[in-house]
Amino acid sequence: MAFSPFPINVNPMTESYESLLHKAYANVGEITEAQDRLVVPEVKGYIEGKTTVFENFSEIASITRRDPDHLMKTMLGELGTAGKIDGNRAIFNGKFEIHLINSLVRNYIDDYVICSECGKPDTRLVKDDRVLLLRCEACGGHRPVRKRRARTEPVSSTPEQGQIIDIEIESLSRRGDGVGKIGRYIVYVAGAKPGQTIKVRITKVAGQVVFTERA
């Protein structure tokens, strides 16, 4: 029997390709759903005199990767007021509850940030023949930016006790009441849900807060 003049080294620690592959996969972290989601902080703000201060405005504009001027212009249009960007803050003329500002930020993200095809925030705004499009860099989808329908306003911009109005519910209060808006007035409707338009009777007006009952 012939023997090789060179010793054959057998490493007992040598692992198979399959074994190494399994170890490699085990060391790779799974991509979680959270990595695909857009995590936007709650609006920080307060009422100062006759204005409302949106403290972390620039932070939210940066996280959504949108031009602060575009976000500001959109919010001013929704609030029906004037305002300005002051450093990292936005200042709105008028007194607005912070939960309403939060609702407008969520609406902005739905309209101008999130892809309706894949649900990811990897998008950018582009214009195509004067039409504003939301183009997704993740899936390649695109859609025209939808414009929200105008809110139903009462005949009088100043709500009065006993008046019957149609109000569009925009958000929920901490107590679970539906919340709408008449100009600068905040309207509470018990049992209503966002997206509904409810006919209500005004039972009480306290400052800029309006309480109602179903008409």
Mean pLDDT of the chain: 80
What is the predicted pLDDT for the residue at 186? 87
What is the predicted pLDDT for the residue at 22? 54
Whether 31 shows a pLDDT value over 50: the answer reads no
Task: Return the bridge partners of 181, or none.
Answer: 186
Whether 193 shows a pLDDT value over 60: the answer reads yes
What is the predicted pLDDT for the residue at 2? 52
Cβ neighbours, 10 Å, residue 183: 16
What is the predicted pLDDT for the residue at 154? 36
How large is the greatest C-alpha to C-alpha distance in the chain, in angstroms?
112
The residue whose two tokens read 């990767």 is 65
Whether 10 shows a pLDDT value over 80: the answer reads no
Whether 26 shows a pLDDT value over 80: the answer reads no
What is the predicted pLDDT for the residue at 25? 46
pLDDT in tens, 111-147: 999 988 888 999 999 988 888 899 999 888 888 886 6
Confidence of residue 173 (pLDDT cuts 50, 70, 90): confident
Q: What average pLDDT score do residues 166-181 get?
A: 85
Q: What average pLDDT score do residues 147-170 get?
A: 67
What is the rounded distance in angstroms from the CA atom of residue 107 to the CA atom of residue 164? 27
Q: Distance from CA of residue 9 to its chain's centroid?
A: 64
Whether 149 shows a pLDDT value over 60: the answer reads no
Confidence of residue 38 (pLDDT cuts 50, 70, 90): confident
Confidence of residue 35 (pLDDT cuts 50, 70, 90): very low
Domains and CATH numbers, the chain: 38-113 (3.30.70.3150), 117-148 (no CATH), 164-214 (2.40.50.140)
pTM surpassing 0.75? no
